[in-house]
Amino acid sequence: MTAPRHIDAGRLRSQLLAPVGPYPSIDVVARTGSTNADLRAAVVEGEPDRTVLIAEEQTAGSGRRGRSWASPPGQGLYLSVLLRPTEVPMAALGSLAVVAGLALTDLTAELGVDAVLKWPNDLLAGPQRAKCAGVLAEAVSSDEQAVVLGIGLNVLPLRERVRPGPGGLPVTSLAEQGARITDRTDLAALLLAALHERELPWRYAHGDLAAAGLLDTYRERCDTLGQQVRLEVAGGRSRLVTAVDVDASGALVVDEEDGSRHTVFAADVVHLRPVPR
């Protein structure tokens, strides 16, 4: 098997670095613990809005609730962006995961990959709806409001066995789903461009997804809506609900089995699969 080519930082900078593009800094490192952790530290050091860090390998990549994210060298795209959206109130920063999800589905559409979103932060691809990417947005305490947005995207088939996600969610990659491009430099350029196109109206709309013109598109692309799902809330019991909508803040609206309707801001959602016959 041919070794994957390294991500070309020079090519990314020529396409996306200011003043040609929207990003003031784009760095690619061979190895780090976590790009999100590195940019959280960079917030305190005063790095500017839209600073980008990409790693060839992460040794301590993580997702929601401290779960690990497999990040072997050369197999995926592991990137984080430091954002300082002063126009967006702290309470609305949670909707950034929706913005990133839309950028990911913009990318998969460009690649010819069948993919949908699972609330709140997963990209599912292929007929099995296997996990292909995850998003982690972390607000950072500092003098100026900041959030670090991390995206982990499986590009090539993972050589190591990966533990399934909540509910036994299998894992897949762009290559396994027939993506027309698997060059990670090209993918990084396309994803960062798509993210900028989605993030800009979100910022101008103060984090309101409806006002930004993003909410209806997310509803169309979110496979969670209309399904009966198992909701797993930290510190609480799991329960079956029906996912009926996503509101302008990115929260999930669910119908309980007793007929009541609630809004859920943070939880794991497990898509229930039919029992094989």
For the residues 138-142, what does the mean pLDDT come to? 88
**Per residue in 17-58, pLDDT tens?**
999 999 999 999 999 999 999 999 999 999 999 999 999 999
Q: In 80-103, which positions are buried (b, 16+ CB within 10 angstroms) versus exposed (e)? A: bbbbbbeebeeebbbbbbbbbbbb
Q: Where in the chain is the domain with CATH 3.30.930.10?
A: 9-219
Q: Which segments of the chain are extended strands (E)?
A: 25-29, 51-55, 76-83, 115-118, 122-125, 130-140, 146-154, 228-232, 239-246, 252-256, 261-264, 268-271
- Structure tokens, 188: 């990084």
**Per residue in 116-125, pLDDT tens?**
999 999 999 9
Q: Where in the chain is the domain with CATH 2.30.30.100?
A: 224-271
pLDDT of 65 over the 60 cut: no
For the residues 190-219, what does the mean pLDDT come to? 98
Mean pLDDT score of the chain: 91
Q: Whose CA is closest to 113, among 98, 96, 129? A: 129
- Least confident interval from 50-64, 101-115, 160-174, 235-249: 160-174
For the residues 146-166, what does the mean pLDDT come to? 81
- Structure tokens, 129: 């709806």
- Least confident interval from 48-52, 91-95, 107-111: 91-95
- Least confident interval from 62-76, 145-159, 185-199: 62-76
User: Does CATH place domain 9-219 in 3.30.930.10?
Assistant: yes
CATH number, domain 224-271: 2.30.30.100
What single-letter DSSP state applies at residue 43?
Answer: H
Prediction pTM value? 0.92
- Percent of the chain clearing pLDDT 90 (strictly above): 80
pLDDT of 165 over the 90 cut: no
HSE (side-chain half, CA atoms, 13 Å) at 234: 6
